[in-house]
Amino acid sequence: MTFSSLLLQQTINGLSLGAMYALLALGFTLIYGILELINFAHFNVFMIGSFVALWVLQGFGLSGQAIVLTGLPLVGVLVAAFAVTMGGCGLLGVAIERVTLRPLRNVTGPAAMITTIGVSYILFNIVLLITSAQTMNFPNPLPPLQWNVGGAVVTLQELLIWGVAPILMLGLWAFVQKSRLGKAMRATAQDPEAARMMGVEVDKVVMTAFFLGSALAGAGGMIFGLYYNFTSFLIGFTAGLRAFTAAVLGGIGNVPGAMVGGILIGLIEAYSGQFIATEWADVIIFSILVLVLVFRPSGLFGRVAPTKS
Amino acid sequence: MLLEFKDIDTYYGDLHVLKKVNYAIEEGEIVSLLGGNACGKSTTMKTIMGVVRPVRGTVIFDGKPIEKLPTAERVKRGIAPVLEARRLFPRMTVFENLEMGAYLRARGPEFDEDLERVYSLFPRVKERRNQIAGTLSGGEQQMVAMGRALMARPRLLCMDEPSMGLSPIFVEQVFDIIQQINKQGTTIFMVEQNANMALQIAHRAYVLQTGQVVLSGNAADLRRDPMIREAYLGEMQVPVT
């Protein structure tokens, strides 16, 4: 393989990973934007998402790579799996907020953040127990199609990811920009007290943020399974940390920032894996994060100066 | 009576902010609340809006007690705030800020009517409707803040320091518009540091000192009151020697 085809191949890989990180990063950013809370439970909501998707696909009689679907059945199964996974994870996120975080809403300090770490470990251990710590083979109903593009290979999985992730992100973007509840979310993020005095019910806004963020994490989890063809109770930590980095890199609280940050982290991971060494990928990712934060503490898209009032 | 405070006591932690405060505001009035810093003026506004809950006492709006109702319910019943220091949503457009004012109301002919009303009161707001609110000047932001409150079609407008930080020309405009809004039928309860201007447009006023109402009455009478003249209108009494 020539250098340019390697570069192209890693760009393809990086965009796929990046789409997954971006979906996951959006959840961090949505919740941070509204509650100024870093939700570490998000790591394992993502992990659970991959298992929900696994169980749904198994429910359709799929296992491993043995059964391949095409046409309408394939589309139907994928849509159903994404819908159930996202809905389930969304509700899980809402439940986490309702049960563990709302009682702490007016408590200042790190109590709520520490709680999310605790919740994260609870989710982690539940799945550990259910799966007996085994790595699971993720059903892949996609036909093994692939295309040669300029010396690089694009698989059907990757095309699927490139289709699904932007649709979800555009959907989120439109919701936040145009819908009544989305505007209430933005208003609450910018001035919670003023939003409340316009009649915005903060609890509803917080619930919406948790639902949407967790649903996107679920979609990310399913994409992880389809991309790597496996899942395990361990996947939340690495992917979650990288996605969190992506959110900070883009400017936490900033929706487009999380999308761009996710793609960047995906590309960095792919390039450094190819051209340096896989073991160095995280070192490079976090070094770039440190550099960005030194020179732009509020992230690439973060607000540098407070707006005048 | 449109709004009444009956023996309201409000605390911030251990700090006793409002002490057995009574107000009574008639429909159609402009009532001004005067007082120095940290005397409980803003707490009064927050108590009306339900952001701060009184420990004792009753707040009555339109004949019904509201002190236990959530803020959204109060907005629904017709109370809208113009907050201290404007408090626009700085990264939303002017139009989106106005929409947030009408958050609890459905879109439709009434919404369009109110939007037209706001645009005719504040032509500048119409010109700037697609601009990001945080980039407007202080005076323009004040107009948006007032427009935003009007979008709730309130019966009672609670204004916290509408003239703060504005240039003298804007201050006069703002007070003119407050009078216009009042003539169109909205009752106004206004906290104001600029006692001179406030007493010119208000029908009545209350004077708050360290959480207690120390004086109240007609604006015209208060303007002549020696204590008011000294403390709030900036007129020193020269001791006769």
Predicted-complex ipTM score: 0.90
A185 in reach of chain B (CB within 8 A): no
Query: How large is the average pLDDT for residues B149-171?
Result: 92
Note which residues in 28-57 of chain B have CB less than 8 A from chain A.
49, 51
Query: How large is the average pLDDT for residues A18-35?
Result: 95
Query: Regarding predicted confidence, which is higher, B165 or A128?
Result: A128
Determine contact, residues A17/A245, Cβ cutoff 8 Å: no
- Cα–Cα distance measured from residue B87 to residue A193, given in angstroms and rounded to the nearest whole number: 9
Residue contact B90–A190, C-beta within 8 A:
yes
- For A20-51, the DSSP string reads HHHHHHHHHHHHHHHH----THHHHHHHHHHH
- Two tokens, residue B147: 């427009």
pLDDT band at A209 (very low <50, low <70, confident <90, very high): very high
The predicted-structure confidence for B112-131, as pLDDT tens digits, reads as follows 999 999 999 999 999 999 99
pLDDT given for residue A308 in this prediction: 40
- Which residues of chain B are within 8 Å of residue A308 when distances are taken between CB atoms? 90, 134
Q: Is the pLDDT of residue A64 over 70?
A: yes
**What angle separates helix A156-178 from helix A255-275, to the nearest 10 degrees?**
160
A189: nearest CA in chain B? B89
pLDDT given for residue A66 in this prediction: 74
Q: Is the pLDDT of residue B236 over 60?
A: no
pLDDT given for residue B134 in this prediction: 94
- Which residues of chain B are within 8 Å of residue A309 when distances are taken between CB atoms? 85-88, 90, 134, 141
- Which residues of chain B are within 8 Å of residue A199 when distances are taken between CB atoms? 71-72, 75-76, 103-104, 152
Q: Is the pLDDT of residue A65 over 90?
A: no
Name the CATH superfamily for B3-211. Answer: P-loop containing nucleotide triphosphate hydrolases (3.40.50.300)
- Scanning B15-77, the segments in alpha helix (DSSP H) are 41-49, 71-77
pLDDT given for residue B239 in this prediction: 57
pLDDT band at B77 (very low <50, low <70, confident <90, very high): very high
Instruction: Tell me which of A143-147, A218-222, B29-33 is least confident.
Output: A143-147
> How many Å is the Cα radius of gyration of chain B?
18
A180 in reach of chain B (CB within 8 A): yes
Mean pLDDT estimate for chain A: 92
Query: How large is the average pLDDT for residues A112-121?
Result: 96
Q: Is the pLDDT of residue A89 over 90?
A: yes
> Residue A27: how many CA atoms within 13 Å on its side-chain side?
34
The predicted-structure confidence for B129-138, as pLDDT tens digits, reads as follows 999 999 999 8
B194 in reach of chain A (CB within 8 A): no
- Which residues of chain A are within 8 Å of residue B51 when distances are taken between CB atoms? 193, 196-197
Region class of B178: left (phi > 0), else alpha (psi between -120 and 50), else beta: alpha
Residue contact B100–A198, C-beta within 8 A:
yes
pLDDT above 90 coverage of chain A, percent: 77
pLDDT given for residue A62 in this prediction: 87
pLDDT above 90 coverage of chain B, percent: 73
pLDDT band at B235 (very low <50, low <70, confident <90, very high): low
pLDDT given for residue A307 in this prediction: 45
- Which residues of chain B are within 8 Å of residue A190 when distances are taken between CB atoms? 89-92
Structural domain spans, chain B: 3-211
Q: Is the pLDDT of residue A149 over 70?
A: yes
Identity of the residue in B49, B89, B104 whose CB atom sits nearest the CB atom of A191: B89
Residue contact B99–A194, C-beta within 8 A:
no
Residue contact A198–B103, C-beta within 8 A:
yes
pLDDT band at A191 (very low <50, low <70, confident <90, very high): very high
A184 in reach of chain B (CB within 8 A): yes
Q: Is the pLDDT of residue B183 over 70?
A: yes
Query: How large is the average pLDDT for residues A63-69?
Result: 78
Residue contact B99–A183, C-beta within 8 A:
yes
pLDDT band at A309 (very low <50, low <70, confident <90, very high): very low
**Which position has the token pair 């707001």?**
B125
Cα dihedral across residues B119, B120, B121, B123: positive or negative = positive
The predicted-structure confidence for A233-291, as pLDDT tens digits, reads as follows 999 999 999 999 999 999 988 999 999 999 999 999 999 988 888 888 889 998 988 99
Residue contact B100–A308, C-beta within 8 A:
no
Q: Is the pLDDT of residue A306 over 50?
A: no
B152 in reach of chain A (CB within 8 A): yes
Residue contact A197–B141, C-beta within 8 A:
no
pLDDT given for residue A249 in this prediction: 93
Query: How large is the average pLDDT for residues B11-19?
Result: 90
Query: Regarding predicted confidence, which is higher, A168 or A71?
Result: A168
- Two tokens, residue B25: 């505001």
Identity of the residue in B83, B96, B104 whose CB atom sits nearest the CB atom of A194: B83
Local structure of B209: helix, strand or coil: strand
B81 in reach of chain A (CB within 8 A): yes
CB burial of residue B28 (10 Å; 0-12, 13-18, 19+)? middle
- Cα–Cα distance measured from residue A60 to residue A62, given in angstroms and rounded to the nearest whole number: 6
CA distance A186 to chain B (A): 8
